[in-house]
Amino acid sequence: MAVSIRPAEARDAEVIAGFTQNTFSWGDYVADAFLDWLADEDAAVPVATDDHDRPIALARVRMLSDRESWLSAARVHPDHRRKGLGSALNDWCVEWSRQRGAAVARLEIETWNEPAQNQVRRLGYRHVATVVDAHREVGRSEIEPATNGGRRTPAEERLERAPRAEADGAFIAWSTSDLARASHGLFSPEPWAWRRMTAEDVYSSRTWFCPSGWIMAEDDGEELFVKWLVSVPEDARRLVRATVDLAEGSGYSSVHIAVPSLPWMDEALRVNGLEPHEFYIFEKPV
C-alpha cells in the first residue's frame, strides 16, 4: 500500500477516535483534543490514509518557538503497524517544521519504549535529555507518604511570588546548575512539551521563591503545573514540599512538576508523594 499523507480535517474525527480509543490502559486523549488541534494556527495534524482516504495514522507537530518544533501524538491503527507510516508522518512533520523556519525538531518517548526509540534513532534523532513528569493529588485529608502514615504537616518554607528583580538571579542560578545541564538547557512551557529556556521566560512567567529555590508555574484552574524550578540537592525536598503546600493552599486539586531526571530530584519528588515518570527527549537538526 502506497503511503498517502494529507492534513487532517474535521471529518476525520470519528475514524481517528475509533482506532485511538484504546491506545493506553486508560484510553487516550487524542479524540478529545483533535478538533482543538485543528484550530491551532501554529500546529499541523497530518494523517496517513488508506486507498479510500480514511485515516489510518496521525501525528501532531507545532512550533514552540521561532526555531523549535515539537512532535507528538503519533498513532497508527493496529492493523497497519510496521508499514512505515510512523516514519513517513515524522518526515512530513520535519518538513513542515523546516518550512516554518525551525532549526531543530524534538519529541519525547517513554524510557521503556525501546522500539520507538530505535525508530527515531534510525530517522536521525539523538537522545539529549531524560526528564520526568510527576503528579499528585493535594488535600488536607491526605496521608503523607514520608511520615509513615501520619498526616502531612506544613512545609518548613513558604513560597512567595517573586518580584521581577529576582528573575536575573533565578536564571543565572539555573544556567549554571546540574538541572540545566541534565535538561540540555530545556524546560517545559506546557505539559508534555520541552523547548530551550531563555531569560525572557523567567521575566514573562509567574515565579515564586523561598530560601530553597524558585519555581515557575501555571494553572488550568484545577492543577498547578510547575514547568521549571531551581534548587540544589540539599534543598530540593523543602522546595518540592513548599510547592505542594502552594498548590493546596491555592485551592488546586493536584500538582504536576516537570523537571530533568536526577537522582536527588527524583528522590525529592518521591518523598513528597509525587511519582516520577521518565521520558527521553530526542532531537534532530531540521
DSSP 8-state assignment for residue 159: -
Residues 152 and 252 placed together within one structural domain of the fold: yes
Q: Which of 102, 118, 152 is the last residue of a domain?
A: 102
Residues 11 and 53 placed together within one structural domain of the fold: yes
Q: Does 233 map to a domain?
A: yes
Residue type, 261: S
Residues 197 and 88 placed together within one structural domain of the fold: no
Higher-scoring residue by pLDDT: 31, 225: 225
Residues 136 and 268 placed together within one structural domain of the fold: yes
Residues 144 and 88 placed together within one structural domain of the fold: no
Is residue 190 a contact partner of residue 227, using CB atoms and an 8 Å limit? yes
Q: Does 117 map to a domain?
A: no
Q: Does 50 map to a domain?
A: yes
Domain count, the chain: 2
H/E element holding 104?
strand 104-110
For the chain, what is the mean pLDDT? Answer: 92
Is residue 236 a contact partner of residue 212, using CB atoms and an 8 Å limit? yes
Is residue 255 a contact partner of residue 134, using CB atoms and an 8 Å limit? no
Residues 136 and 58 placed together within one structural domain of the fold: no
Rg (CA), the chain: 20
Q: What is the CATH number of the domain that holds 39?
A: 3.40.630.30
Q: Does 54 map to a domain?
A: yes
DSSP 8-state assignment for residue 214: E
Surface-to-core class of residue 36, CB atoms within 10 Å of its CB (0-12 exposed, 13-18 middle, 19+ buried): exposed
- Confidence check: pLDDT of 69 > 50: yes
Q: What's the pLDDT tens digit per position in 194-250?
A: 999 999 999 999 999 999 999 999 998 899 999 999 999 999 999 999 999 999 999
Q: What's the pLDDT tens digit per position in 81-122?
A: 988 999 999 999 999 999 999 999 999 999 999 999 999 999
Please tell me the pTM assigned to this model. Answer: 0.90
Q: Does 118 map to a domain?
A: no
Per-residue confidence (pLDDT) for residue 3, from 0 to 100:
76
DSSP 8-state assignment for residue 152: P
Residue holding cell 490502559?
A: 25
Residues 90 and 137 placed together within one structural domain of the fold: no
Residues 135 and 98 placed together within one structural domain of the fold: no
Q: Please, where are the H alpha helices in the chain? A: 13-20, 30-38, 85-99, 114-122, 166-175, 178-182, 199-204, 236-249, 263-271
Residues 149 and 272 placed together within one structural domain of the fold: yes
Q: How many residues does the chain have?
A: 286
Q: Does 46 map to a domain?
A: yes
Phi, psi values for residue 134, rounded to 5° = -130, 140
Is residue 255 a contact partner of residue 135, using CB atoms and an 8 Å limit? yes
Q: Does 109 map to a domain?
A: no
Residues 178 and 218 placed together within one structural domain of the fold: yes
Residues 227 and 279 placed together within one structural domain of the fold: yes
Residues 24 and 85 placed together within one structural domain of the fold: yes
DSSP 8-state assignment for residue 144: P
Expressed as residue numbers, the domain containing 158 is 131-285
Q: Does 119 map to a domain?
A: no
